[in-house]
């Protein structure tokens, strides 16, 4: 496994790589959810292709300094996990090498990023789009694998690929969950035992609203109220947003006439978790 820490070296190494080049962009603190993305990348690359994993805690996508500072960075364990998973190349740049101090170009998606995490974390998706575009360009990947947990991120990256004619096929992989339903996330390790015990309520609340819909309740406000009450049944939970959006435009809806998504971000202490469920009309 080759480990590269400078962007220009990635460009050189990747250009010399054989077969399909498949990228899994990550911020490290790898867990089973990342490992399934890497496995999928291995399948897509085949034995002769090149699986590349980027490990970079991208500072420009964080809206809270404390969140960036607390983001786990177990690099040695991550490298061991990549080696074990059959990764060919790991790109792990220092922030100073990714961004010029006077950088002045940012990629902005201006529609899908107006709601949900984009609304509650200003600038977040500018940071994501900018780093992902740079990673695509440096790695020359033809395929990139992303998790469906960050479904707004996935939609925005697909839009960026479409609108900028990037020669990259985006492959999505379903969310991996703990047995109690909590979506796997690098942030889960920061939960206290009490917060960890409360956190599965996030998923359960979204499912409870979906169940109400199945029983004939069509009022969006009522569905949101169901989910809100379930989440807030834990005193440890603080809702950042809870919203029902159109599955394509990601704009909030007042009636369920097309496929929609019920999504929430909830703080457990300082740890912000997200989850969503699909809603059929």
**Which residues are catalytic, by number?**
34
Please say which residue, 128 or 141, places its beta carbon nearer to ligand PAF.
128
Q: Which is nearer to ligand PAF, 135 or 209 (CB)?
A: 135
Backbone angles phi, psi at 105, to 5 degrees: -120, 130
Q: Which residues contact 208 (CB under 8 A, 6 or more apart)?
A: 226, 227, 230
Closest CA to 93 of 9, 187, 185, 1: 9
Q: Which residues of the shown chain bind ligand PAF in the complex (CB under 6 A)? A: 25-27, 58, 61, 128, 131-132, 150, 153
Residue 131 CB, shortest distance to ligand PAF, in Å, is 5
Q: How far is the CB of 127 from ligand PAF (least distance, A)?
A: 7
Nearer to ligand PAF, 64 or 255 (CB): 64
**Residue among 16, 14, 15, 34 nearest 25 (CA):** 34
C-beta closer to ligand PAF: residue 93 or 200: 93
Question: Please, what is the minimum distance in Å from the beta carbon of residue 56 to ligand PAF?
Answer: 6
Give the shortest CB-21-to-ligand PAF separation in angstroms: 17
DSSP symbols for 95-150: HHHHS-TT--------SGGGSHHHHHSTTHHHHHHHHHHHHHHHHT-SEEEEESSS
């Amino acid at each position: 496994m080759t480990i590269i820490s400078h962007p220009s070296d990635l460009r050189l190494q990747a250009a010399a790589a054989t077969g399909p080049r498949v990228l899994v962009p990550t911020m490290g603190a790898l867990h089973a959810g990342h490992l399934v993305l890497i496995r999928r990348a291995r399948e897509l690359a085949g034995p002769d292709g090149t699986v590349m994993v980027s490990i970079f805690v991208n500072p420009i996508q964080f809206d809270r300094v404390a969140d960036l500072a607390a983001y786990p960075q177990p690099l040695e364990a991550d490298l061991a996990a990549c080696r074990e998973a059959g990764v060919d190349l790991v790109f792990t740049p220092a922030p100073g090498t990714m961004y010029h101090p006077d950088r002045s170009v940012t990629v902005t998606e201006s529609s899908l990023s107006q709601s949900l995490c984009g609304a509650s974390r200003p600038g977040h998706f500018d940071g994501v789009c900018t780093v992902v575009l740079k990673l695509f360009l440096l790695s020359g990947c033809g395929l990139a694998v992303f998790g469906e947990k960050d479904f707004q991120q996935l939609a925005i990256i697909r839009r960026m690929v479409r609108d900028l004619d990037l020669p990259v096929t985006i492959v999505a992989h379903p969310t991996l969950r703990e047995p109690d339903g909590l979506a796997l996330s690098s942030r889960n390790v920061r939960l206290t035992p009490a917060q960890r015990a409360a956190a599965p309520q996030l998923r359960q609340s979204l499912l409870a609203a979906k169940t109400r819909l199945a029983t004939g309740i069509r009022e969006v406000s009522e569905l949101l109220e169901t989910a809100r009450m379930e989440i807030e049944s834990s005193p440890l939970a603080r809702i950042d947003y809870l919203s029902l959006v159109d599955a394509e435009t990601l704009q909030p809806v007042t009636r369920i006439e097309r496929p929609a998504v019920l999504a929430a971000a909830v703080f457990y202490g300082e740890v912000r978790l997200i989850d969503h469920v699909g809603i059929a009309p």
